[in-house]
């Protein structure tokens, strides 16, 4: 079994992820102004909003890929951009001319996952993940030969290759079929059960979310999903 | 270390699979073959102008391989993953520059002297030519990476990369061509020394310029 995220998120000082008065500019225009929210450990936040409301920009700013003009995002009192996290963007981050197996093996090495240091461990773990994703038959296929949904599944496989306390997912449901969605919900639930945090931007309902945040209104509203 | 090794080996494998390596070698052979048709088959003339021409061809070959150096990573989203690592981005860039050196320049350094035989170069000058390319190679990759990074977010950036990089290559061209420029006096060791110095300095400085411009391209 791979280590769960529990070891990474200390329960004692679990302030969760805290975003205070975040402001982001894109192309010189103010896109996100004074957005604040809090996600505690074990919760999944669904980022909602119209096209162009800044969902992707907020996720990228959280990951530290674009600068925050103002505000602060912390995880357990530590700057989030200094923390290890997973970010799955619109692009899948896969090499077209590498096989499914090679892509995952590359990320296993890139993330320096301690439980995958040996070749035999990697083979076993990658085989297991690909089986869960129903990609076993494609293990030696080039990524160019996969369908959009299969590529998306492979991108999601990165989440499982190395444990990280925070997952930032940008439109994770795109191109996934029902089975793929069920699988995604399952791994999100499992991640949250281990104390991890998931923030996912999506225009489609994200069934597994415990809370939601709507961007692009005069005042962004945070609500508990069950209400 | 595992992360750097993964980036290095993936870049080399991709250069091989996408044909960047074989394309570079094929290009230099075709370019060298064309030259005698242009300047005439006079052996003495070819011998005299060969070192300079081979270096110009070397630089044109570099330009072919540069424009996709970072662009493919930016397009497929791999760059986001590299930026998110808890490693210095500059060291990752240096890894990619070294991978370019191994994937493109070393094969070219092997085959360009062989192609030089078609221009009537003395066989005794060939090791010197290979050595000068190997020593100048890190500088060619490092300076080329700056051009590739500055034009990475532009579509069809090949010509733009060439415009940025070619002036930067002038010192390397001057010292490189002078290494075997006077066949009678043997190797010009001081030129080799200057090439090595340029390589060391550019390898150290260019990752900072490349990293800064790629971070800008992400924004």
Interface test with B, best of A105, A109, A172 (most B CBs within 10 A): A109
Q: Is A94 on the interface with B (CB under 8 A)?
A: yes
Q: Which residues contact B48 (CB under 8 A, 6 or more apart)?
A: none
Task: Determine, for residues A87 and B81 on separate chains, whether the beta-carbon distance falls below 8 Å.
Answer: yes
The overall average pLDDT reported for chain B is 91
d(CA B112, CA B125): 12
Q: Which residues contact A8 (CB under 8 A, 6 or more apart)?
A: A163, A164, A165, A196
Please give the ipTM for the structure prediction: 0.88
Higher pLDDT among residues B124 and B108, named by residue: B108
What was the pLDDT predicted at A208? 84
Highest mean pLDDT among A30-39, A122-131, A218-227, B96-105: B96-105
Residue A127 has pLDDT above 60, yes or no: yes
Nearest Cβ partner for B2 among A66, A87, A109: A109
Q: Which has the closest alpha carbon to B135: B199, B191, B72, B181?
A: B199
Task: Determine, for residues B13 and A98 on separate chains, whether the beta-carbon distance falls below 8 Å.
Answer: yes
What's the pLDDT tens digit per position in A29-68? 888 888 889 998 889 999 988 888 889 999 999 998 888 8
Task: Determine, for residues B10 and A63 on separate chains, whether the beta-carbon distance falls below 8 Å.
Answer: no
Task: Determine, for residues A117 and B80 on separate chains, whether the beta-carbon distance falls below 8 Å.
Answer: no
Nearest Cβ partner for B80 among A67, A89, A112: A89
What was the pLDDT predicted at B184? 64
Residue A11 has pLDDT above 70, yes or no: no
User: How many CA atoms lie within 13 Å of B178's alpha carbon, on the beta-carbon side?
Assistant: 14
State what percent of residues in chain A have pLDDT above 70. Answer: 90
Residue A225 has pLDDT above 60, yes or no: no
Residue A13 has pLDDT above 50, yes or no: no
Q: Is A106 on the interface with B (CB under 8 A)?
A: yes
What's the whole-number mean pLDDT along residues B137-152? 95
Residues of A in contact with B78 (CB under 8 A): 93-95
The interaxial angle of helices B20-39 and B43-66, nearest 10 deg, is 150
Residue B55: pLDDT band with limits 50, 70, 90: very high
What's the pLDDT tens digit per position in B161-188? 999 999 999 999 999 988 887 666 677 8
**Taking the model in full, what pTM does it have?**
0.89
Residues of B in contact with A94 (CB under 8 A): 76-78
Task: Determine, for residues B2 and A117 on separate chains, whether the beta-carbon distance falls below 8 Å.
Answer: yes
Task: Determine, for residues A112 and B78 on separate chains, whether the beta-carbon distance falls below 8 Å.
Answer: no
d(CA B19, CA B72): 14
Count interface pairs A-B at CB distance under 8 A: 69
Task: Determine, for residues B76 and A106 on separate chains, whether the beta-carbon distance falls below 8 Å.
Answer: no
């Amino acid at each position: 079994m791979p280590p769960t995220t529990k070891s990474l998120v200390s329960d004692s000082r679990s302030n969760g992820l805290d975003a205070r008065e975040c402001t982001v500019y894109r192309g010189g225009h103010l896109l996100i102004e004074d957005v604040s929210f809090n996600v505690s450990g074990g919760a999944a936040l669904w980022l909602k909003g119209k096209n162009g409301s800044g969902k992707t920009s907020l996720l990228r700013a959280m990951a530290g890929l674009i600068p925050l003009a103002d505000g602060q995002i912390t995880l357990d009192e530590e700057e989030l951009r200094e923390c290890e996290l997973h970010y799955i963007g619109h692009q899948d981050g896969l090499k077209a001319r590498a096989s499914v197996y090679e892509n995952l093996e590359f990320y296993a090495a890139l993330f320096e996952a301690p439980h995958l240091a040996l070749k035999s461990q990697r083979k076993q773990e990658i085989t297991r993940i690909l089986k869960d994703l129903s990609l076993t038959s494609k293990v030696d296929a080039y990524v160019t030969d996969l369908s959009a949904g299969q590529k998306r599944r492979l991108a999601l496989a990165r989440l499982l290759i190395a444990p990280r306390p925070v997952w930032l997912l940008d439109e994770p449901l795109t191109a996934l079929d029902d089975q793929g969605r069920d699988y995604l919900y399952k791994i999100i639930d499992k991640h949250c059960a281990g104390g991890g945090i998931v923030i996912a931007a999506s225009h489609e309902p994200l069934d597994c979310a415990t809370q939601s945040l709507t961007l692009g209104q005069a005042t962004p509203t945070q609500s508990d999903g069950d209400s | 270390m595992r992360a750097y090794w993964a980036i290095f080996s993936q870049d080399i494998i991709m250069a091989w699979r996408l044909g960047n390596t074989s394309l570079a070698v094929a290009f230099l052979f075709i370019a060298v073959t064309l030259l005698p048709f242009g300047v005439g088959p006079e052996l003495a003339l070819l011998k005299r102008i060969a070192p300079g021409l081979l270096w110009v061809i070397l630089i044109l070959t570099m330009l072919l391989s540069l424009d996709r150096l970072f662009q493919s990573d930016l397009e497929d989203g791999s760059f986001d993953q590299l930026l998110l690592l808890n490693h210095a981005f500059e060291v990752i860039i240096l890894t990619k520059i070294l991978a370019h050196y191994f994937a493109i320049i070393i094969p070219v350094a092997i085959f360009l002297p062989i192609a030089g035989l078609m221009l009537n170069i003395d066989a005794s000058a060939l090791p010197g030519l290979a050595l000068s390319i190997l020593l100048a190679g890190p500088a060619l990759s490092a300076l080329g990476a700056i051009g590739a990074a500055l034009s990475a977010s532009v579509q069809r950036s090949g010509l733009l990369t060439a415009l940025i990089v070619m002036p930067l290559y002038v010192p390397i061209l001057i010292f490189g061509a002078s290494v075997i420029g006077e066949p009678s006096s043997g190797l010009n060791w001081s030129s080799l020394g200057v090439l090595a110095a340029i390589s060391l300095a550019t390898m150290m400085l260019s990752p900072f310029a490349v990293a800064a411009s790629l971070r800008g391209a992400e924004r």
